[in-house]
Structure 1
Amino acid sequence: MRKWSRKNSLGGLKLRSEMDAHEAEVLRSLVGAVTGLLTDRARAAPEDDLAALTGLQMGNTTPPDDPRLRRLLPEFHRKEPGSPDADRADLNSALRSLHEPDIIEAKVAAGQVVLETLPPEGGKVTLSPEQADAWLTAVNDIRLALGTALDISTETPDSFDSDDPRAPHLDVYHWLTWMQDSLLQALAP
């Protein structure tokens, strides 16, 4: 992948890069995996009679079991010991039920923008600033999910031994980090 560049045109600001076929295939696969996780989560939401009557979309009330989804859909409120709401277990459930469907929808839509703007066989990629924002969201979600699967922390080495099965995945994680950084720098004025 080439570094993202910033080009002003008659149609406005455009962000450009180029990916080879293998990179495009890897990115498409990762976007599909993350949006699949999110879509499955949305489909697992319980049926709600009030939602059916009002048209309001209701989500799950419990946090996801999958650690990758827990990272993508964290709790809305952290209980602080001794605070007045420390024993209000229903607060996160209510907030999750109300907001999780919209969050999932936005994340899946961002992934869809990547799939629509990424040439299937690789090649030149040209994005508007709005599309670039969607790419940043999708790439960040992929990094969060992959980082959780790899158990990335401040103590994770820059590389694993070549015989470690996580080594290629860590390389992909670093590539995504570079891609995100390059796109952010190109977006900055």
Structure 2
Amino acid sequence: MRQWTRKNSLSGPKLRSEMDGHEASVLRSLVASVLGMLEDRSAQAPQDDLAELTGLRTGNSTPPEIPALERLLPDFHRPDADASVNPDDEAGDLNGALRSLHEPSIIDAKLAAGAVILRTVPEDGGKVVLNPEQAEAWLYGLNDVRLALGTTLGIDDDTPEALDDDDPRAPHLDVYHWLTWMQDSLVQALLP
């Protein structure tokens, strides 16, 4: 993938890059995987009679069990590290209520951002041209893919920049670094 560049045109600024077919395939696959997890989570939301009457959507009140989804949809409130955590306490009730109210719109926003990436990445590679709104969606979508992949790989502050070749995570870490570079390049191109 080439570094993102910004070009001003009569129709407004455009952000441009180019990726080969393999890169496009990898990116599309990763985005589709994250969107699939989010769609499955949304489909698991309980049906609420009051929500049907009022038109107010509600979502799951419990956190996801899949670590990558838990990273994408974290609790709204985290108790102090020193406090003992009881799932039946007020923080658990608060998180459940907040999650139930806000998770559907959060998932919708994540699905919309991923859909922009899928619509704008040429299936066989080639030029990518984005307007600023699409570029913002790319940033959100790339961040979600990075968070999901990083969680799946167990990336943390102690993870080295490169892993031994015999480590099964090594090629995936390279993809993680590629996504990080792509996101940073896009941020730099968006800056005035």
Q: Same fold (TM over 0.5)?
A: yes
Counterpart pick for 1:120 among 112, 120, 123: 123
Q: What TM-score results when the alignment is normalised by the length of structure 1? A: 0.96
Poorly superposed stretches of 4+, deviation over 3 Å: none
Q: Point out where structure 1 has 5 or more consecutive residues left out of the alignment.
A: none
Paired residues for 1:35-54 under 5 Å: 35-54=35-54
Amino acid at match of 2:64: P
Verify: 1:106 aligned to 2:109, yes or no: yes
State the 1:54 CA deviation. Answer: 1.0
SS in 1 for 2:129: strand
Q: Aligned equivalents of 2:112 and 2:178: distance in 1?
A: 22
SS in 2 for 1:77: coil
Q: Aligned equivalents of 1:170 and 1:61: distance in 2?
A: 33
State the 1:147 CA deviation. Answer: 0.3
Q: Which residue of 1 aligns with 2:17?
A: 17
Verify: 1:92 aligned to 2:95, yes or no: yes
CA RMSD of aligned residues (A): 1.3
Paired residues for 1:66-77 under 5 Å: 66-77=66-77
Q: Which residue of 1 aligns with 2:133?
A: 130
SS in 1 for 2:94: helix
Q: Aligned equivalents of 1:40 and 1:125: distance in 2?
A: 29
SS in 2 for 1:126: strand
State the 1:52 CA deviation. Answer: 1.1
Counterpart pick for 1:164 among 158, 163, 167: 167
Q: Aligned equivalents of 2:28 and 2:68: distance in 1?
A: 18
SS in 2 for 1:170: helix
State the 1:79 CA deviation. Answer: 2.1
Verify: 1:176 aligned to 2:155, yes or no: no
State how many pairs are aligned.
186
Q: Aligned equivalents of 2:8 and 2:68: distance in 1?
A: 38
Q: Aligned equivalents of 2:178 and 2:33: distance in 1?
A: 17
Q: Aligned equivalents of 1:71 and 1:47: distance in 2?
A: 24
Verify: 1:155 aligned to 2:158, yes or no: yes
Q: Which residue of 2 aligns with 1:34?
A: 34
Amino acid at match of 2:67: P
State the 1:97 CA deviation. Answer: 0.2
SS in 2 for 1:74: coil
What's the % identity of the aligned pairs?
68
Amino acid at match of 1:130: E
Q: Point out where structure 2 has 5 or more consecutive residues left out of the alignment.
A: none
Q: What's the CA shift string for 1:8-39, capped at 9, x where partnerless?
A: 00000000000000000000000000000000
Q: Aligned equivalents of 2:36 and 2:150: distance in 1?
A: 17
SS in 1 for 2:149: helix
Q: Aligned equivalents of 1:18 and 1:49: distance in 2?
A: 48
